[in-house]
C-alpha cells in the first residue's frame, strides 16, 4: 500500500454519494444568510486589537480614554475598533455624564473568548 502524498488533497477513490447522509446534513444546514452573518461575526475576532479590547472589557467596564492608555493606542484608534465591536453586538455602552463606558454585550462574548482560548491552549 502506498503512502498518500500530504501535498495532494484527499479525495474519494471512487465516486459514491451517500444520499442519506447528504440529505440529513442538508436538512440541518442553517440558511445561507445565517451562515453569512456567522462568518461576519468571526471576522471581527480576526483582529488582535479588537481581541485585546474584548479582553480588557472581560476584566472591567472602561471608557475609551482608559482603554487607549492601557493598550498604548490613540483614542481615535480605540473608538474605531469599538464601533466595529458595537455594530457586531459584542460590546455595549452606557453614558455617565460626558463619559461613555463600554462593557461586553453579554455572556456569549465571554464564552466565545473562553472557548477560543481553550482551543489555542490545546
At residue 93, the pLDDT reads: 96
How far is 53 from 55, CA to CA, in rounded Å? 5
At residue 79, the pLDDT reads: 96
Backbone angles phi, psi at 63, to 5 degrees: -95, 165
At residue 63, the pLDDT reads: 97
At residue 12, the pLDDT reads: 67
Residue that the C-alpha cell 492608555 belongs to: 69
At residue 121, the pLDDT reads: 94
Average pLDDT of adjacent 10-residue blocks, the chain of 122 residues:
69 78 90 94 94 95 97 97 96 96 95 93 92
CA distances (Å), origin 69, targets 62, 77, 83, 96: 11, 12, 18, 20
At residue 67, the pLDDT reads: 98
CA distances (Å), origin 22, targets 5, 10, 15, 30, 32: 28, 19, 14, 14, 17
Amino acid at each position: 500500500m502506498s503512502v498518500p502524498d500530504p501535498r495532494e488533497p484527499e479525495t474519494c477513490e471512487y465516486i459514491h454519494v451517500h444520499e442519506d447522509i447528504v440529505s440529513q446534513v442538508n436538512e440541518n444546514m442553517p440558511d445561507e444568510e445565517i451562515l453569512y452573518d456567522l462568518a461576519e461575526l468571526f471576522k471581527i475576532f480576526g483582529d488582535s486589537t479588537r481581541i485585546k479590547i474584548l479582553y480588557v472589557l472581560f476584566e472591567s467596564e472602561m471608557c475609551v480614554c482608559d482603554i487607549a492608555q492601557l493598550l498604548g493606542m490613540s483614542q481615535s484608534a480605540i473608538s474605531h475598533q469599538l464601533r466595529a465591536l458595537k455594530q457586531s453586538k459584542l460590546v455595549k455602552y452606557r453614558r455617565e455624564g460626558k463619559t461613555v463606558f463600554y462593557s461586553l454585550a453579554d455572556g456569549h462574548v465571554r464564552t466565545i473568548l473562553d472557548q477560543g482560548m481553550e482551543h489555542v491552549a490545546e
